[in-house]
Amino acid sequence: MAEQITAMRGRYYRDEASTWRHSETKHKVAGARDMTLDDLYPDLVIVTTNGSRLQWVLVPDVLVRDHADLAWVREVADGPTSRYDTDGGRTGTPTAGWTNVWPVPVLEWDLRAAECQGIWIAGVGEA
């Protein structure tokens, strides 16, 4: 059995059927759905390596350091690196968002992207 996920200091929980419920009443939470990594980090850049079909999701080091839900990145990516900062390489000025990134293979990201990280409630937002 999977570990039960709770949200908003235990006010909601996700049952075995992946339905979000109120902890006190056990009623379904109206408008609730799983919040995923793609919801949390929608603006990450995807690059294709020159001469290859391999794609990488560039995860900034600051996110990996500050967010426990991204700790796994250290196990699957070589970084942090600035090798994708082609503008900074030409101009000598670092390009915001392209320096100190962890290049995560898209396949690795996709394996985890749909995993539930919390609850999203329509009209309320994330928790």
pTM: 0.75
By the 10 Å C-beta count (0-12 exposed, 13-18 middle, 19+ buried), 62 is classed as: exposed
Residue type, position 10, single letter: G
Q: Which ranges in 23-117 belong to alpha helices (H)?
A: 37-40, 61-66, 73-76, 86-91, 106-113
Q: Predicted confidence band at 67 (pLDDT cuts at 50, 70, 90)?
A: very high
Q: Please tell me the distance from the alpha carbon of residue 96 to that of residue 30, in angstroms, as a whole number.
A: 39
Q: Taking the C-alpha atoms of 100, 104, 109 and 110 in order, what is their torsion angle to the nearest 10 degrees?
A: 140
pLDDT tens for residues 104-123? 999 999 999 888 888 988 87
Higher pLDDT: 55 or 88? It is 55
Q: Predicted confidence band at 1 (pLDDT cuts at 50, 70, 90)?
A: very low
Q: Please tell me the distance from the alpha carbon of residue 46 to that of residue 57, in angstroms, as a whole number.
A: 4
